Structure 1
Amino acid sequence: MNREKELRYLSIEKLETRKTEDDKMTISGYVVQFNKRSKVMWDFVEVVAKGAFRESLKNNVIKALWNHDSNLVLGSTKNSTLRLLEDDFGLRFELDLPNTNWGRDAWESVRRGDVDGVSFGFFVIEDNWEYLKDEDLYQRTLLNVDLFEISPTPFPAYGDSQVSCRSFEEFKTSIEQQNKNELNKRKMMLELDLF
């Protein structure tokens, strides 16, 4: 089986940073949101299905790189400086940056908002293609991928990825609130359908 390495550059609303009293620098956000479209890439758009990263998260050592540069390693799941979690919303990450020149530069670029996207590198294990006649383009759905790296980047392909520099507790609270708002919307819609 000949697999090609693929990279996706994602645009996000918030790339979060936080700095603790011991000068530990952390960024967090979403690598990708499930079932949200990428920008048009050539003649297709792409979405990532919930569960596409499940096997990778169980089996792979995944690295965080600066803009896909393997000379600038920012973290790793091997030593838990990179933490990844699939939730109902997407693939969430939290990354403790190294106290190196490129780690401090990365933190500052994210803090200032100059870098506000996340990208990911992967091999496709399973996908599905569908022609969208009304839009005259194809939609590719990633069902199972072999994820090997994520990267903060200035040029993302997915408009809905998120990364920022704030406390993880604030971040969790904002995501929990988004999820509650979505559930309340669904509940209200169900109630309206009953009447």
Structure 2
Amino acid sequence: MSTSIDKLIETTQALLWERGYVGTSPRAIQDGAGVGQGSMYHHFRSKAELALAAEERSAAELIEEVRQILDGPGEPLERVLTYLRLERDILKGCRIGRLAADPDIVADDTLRKPLEETFAWITARLADLLHEAQARGHLPPGLDSQALAATVLAVRQGGYVLARAANSTAPYEQAIEGMVSLLTRRPEGSD
């Protein structure tokens, strides 16, 4: 059973993803959560405080979803490829990534912090796996695993932007498959 706090946070998560910070009014949050103004402001002093709680929950949910893949079974490179191909509602984009395009979120260090921390965690975990894949001979020596991890994340996030701009999943899928082909390409003369 959801509490009014949970309903407020869940509603705010959905509205931030769909409408952004400015487009998420306290009235829309209250209506969506089925709570009154008094209840909302009893639990959260401001819209910004509620938005931060929603961002933190979205970040935690994303990290847990990604952790299950990246810490799961299989070779390190295969886990990275599974992450790249993770099914999503491509045209809606990433709950965290979409907020990075919101000027009100990025202008506020407190509201921006969960985004930065989430992407830093994903990048670091990808870098560890890519370094391990390199040590096992599955990637060429000399690659900067940290830079490669940032590229993997950028391809995913950028793919969402391209898909939304085209109103088609094709650009996203093409970007992901391009990254996969780069990661799995064997140098000439290798067996």
Q: TM-score, normalised on structure 1?
A: 0.24
User: Would you tell me which structure has more helix in proportion to its own residues?
Assistant: 2
Q: TM-score, normalised on structure 2?
A: 0.24
Q: Which has the higher contact order (CA 8 A, sep 6+)?
A: 1
User: Would you tell me which structure has more strand in proportion to its own residues?
Assistant: 1
The structure with the largest alpha-carbon Rg is: 2
